[in-house]
Amino acid sequence: MNPSSTVATAGGKTDLPKRFHHVGIVGKFQTAGSHEDIFNLATFLVSLGIDVSLERETALNTGITDFSTIDVDVIGEQCDLAVVVGGDGTLLGVGRRLAKHGVPMIGVNQGRVGFITDIALTDYREVLPPMLSGAYEHEVRGMMQAQVWRDNHCVFEASALNDVVVNRGSTTGMIELRIEVNGHFVANQRSDGLIIASPTGSTAYAMSVGGPIVHPSVAGWVVAPIAPHTLSNRPIVLPFECEVSVELVRGLEANVNFDMQSLTSLIKGDRIKVCAAEQGLRLLHPQGWSYFDTLRKKLHWNEGNP
């Protein structure tokens, strides 16, 4: 694949710069050693002739005062690239806010798994320079937009890159959900909950309940029940363009969360509507990056083989 090329995905495709000039850095400042890691990365980028700004909360919580500080939305407006230092959760949180601006993101992995933060912290000095000069793989990950409707009013709205999850909360009994797709009744389901996952989220919670791994270039959603009462209720893959509606028919203390990072409580009769977001999340990977290499490494496939 050529530099600045695009992997066609559910979110669309757009040409990007062949060289980046202003980089915003967002870090997981709760991690031990974050101050040193973020400071060293920023200093390294400056040595390459790049203007660097730190996200305001990152700077405040690490005590780094050597660089300009800006809010996340200002990164979207002023920077041509965001570099996220942390794990997938950090990138998910920032990515939902930056997606609307179309700013590409690079993930530098401080965590353990890192399906979308795919550059090891120990490797960025070798990996980043060619990427910043235009030698990268570009893909757009489709995102979801979800609303909670109550008495014909939208009472909550959020976006998600991984998944939208309806679950029973802390109660011991199952909940009952009515599921519709594009206005067509699919099923009434008794279970512990339901996961609506993007291809990106297919390797997260959905995978733990038996859902399939979906390649990120596939334009579709995974709808997977959590511990269903009827074992014939199986995960299903739906088209990217459809709207999934989930109504809480019965259940106490049920809730819905978005990427496990924002949450709202549900009451009987609430309806969650999930559809494709207008913008996708733009990710940059090193040249030669392969999704299958990521799966093999992170899921420990073929361990012990040459």
d(CA 277, CA 280): 7
164-191 confidence digits (pLDDT tens): 999 998 777 899 999 999 999 999 999 9
- The low-confidence residues of the chain, meaning pLDDT below 70, are 1-15, 32, 111-113, 303-306
What's the confidence (pLDDT) of residue 225?
97
CB 119 within 8 A of CB 219: no
Q: What DSSP letter does each residue of 110-160 carry, written as one string? A: -SS--SS--EEGGGHHHHHHHHHTT-EEEEEE--EEEEEEETTEEEEEEEE
d(CA 13, CA 16): 9
Catalytically active residues, by annotation: 88
pTM of the model: 0.89
What's the confidence (pLDDT) of residue 304?
60
Domains of the chain: 5-142+280-298 (3.40.50.10330), 144-276 (2.60.200.30)
Reduce the DSSP state of residue 38 to 3 states and report it: helix
